[in-house]
Chains A and B, each alone.
Chain A
Amino acid sequence: AQKVTQAQTEISVVEKEDVTLDCVYETRDTTYYLFWYKQPPSGELVFLIRRNSFDEQNEISGRYSWNFQKSTSSFNFTITASQVVDSAVYFCALRGNTGTASKLTFGTGTRLQVTL
């Protein structure tokens, strides 16, 4: 069975603060894929990043960065210098490579509120 845990239900920060969203996953697959999605109030899930299990290199994209640590089964997401437009619910998701290989298992999400 696959599982994704996002222990932080809600985080509030003031604009320009850095914030890290935690994601811990469980899977028996040796090859798997991790994702982060952003869900603004409109409801659409916006793809942010995909990481393969065999590539532990961290990634930076503008103000966003991701820290993948296989040893601790974590895939954390950091927003640097947060902005009000970053306010949304963020989901971490896992996709295995066996069984229903196409199925995404989501965490329960972390609601980020960025205020002025």
Chain B
Amino acid sequence: DTGVSQDPRHKITKRGQNVTFRCDPISEHNRLYWYRQTLGQGPEFLTYFQNEAQLEKSRLLSDRFSAERPKGSFSTLEIQRTEQGDSAMYLCASSSKGGNSGNTIYFGEGSWLTVV
């Protein structure tokens, strides 16, 4: 399977704990994105990388959130001191090389987070 893959698919954690999600983009895609989706809503942009550089962060990305893409390949999204409001699905996506902002963004299956 050469699609975007995310791990873990589901995570239940206690409030206050840290969690980390991993995303492996489609091979050779230089752009990688993180989105968050809550029930009944569309995905909301969190951040994106071009290669290893994090070029944009949404206001939704509080200080407790950090994303990295150290080698320009896979990415991690860490949430520290989780709160119940962090419960959501975290979607990773990637798009191909090139400056055309119309390039299609392909999404993974998401990582469901439940904070209890």
Contacts and interface: CB of A to CB of B under 8 A. Distances in A.
Contact of A102 (B40, B42, B101, B110): B101
B42 A91 contact: yes
Given A44-B107, A95-B101, A106 B112 contact: no
Secondary structure class of chain B's binding surface, majority of residues: strand
Contacts of B107: 37, 44-47
A43 interface: yes
A110 to B, nearest CB: 10
B43 A43 contact: no
Given A35-B104, A45-B107, A102 B43 contact: no
B110 A104 contact: no
A116 interface: no
B48 interface: yes
Contacts of A105: 45
Contact of B112 (A33, A43, A91): A43
A108 B102 CA distance: 21
A50 B96 CA distance: 14
B2 interface: no
B33 interface: yes
Contacts, number: 68
Contact of B109 (A44, A102, A106): A44
Contact residues on A (Cβ < 8 Å of other chain), bracket: 20 to 34
A43 B89 contact: yes
A108 B37 CA distance: 10
Interface in A76-108: 91, 93, 95-97, 100-108
Contacts of A104: 33, 35, 43, 45, 105
B104 A100 contact: no
Specify which of B43, B44, B95 lies most central, judged by the most chain A CB atoms within 10 Å of its CB.
Answer: B43
15 contacts: A37-B107, A44-B107, A47-B104, A91-B42, A91-B43, A95-B101, A100-B45, A100-B48, A103-B56, A104-B33, A104-B43, A105-B45, A106-B42, A106-B43, A107-B42
The 10 closest A-B pairs by CB, nearest first: A106-B42, A101-B101, A45-B107, A33-B102, A44-B109, A43-B110, A103-B45, A100-B56, A106-B43, A108-B42
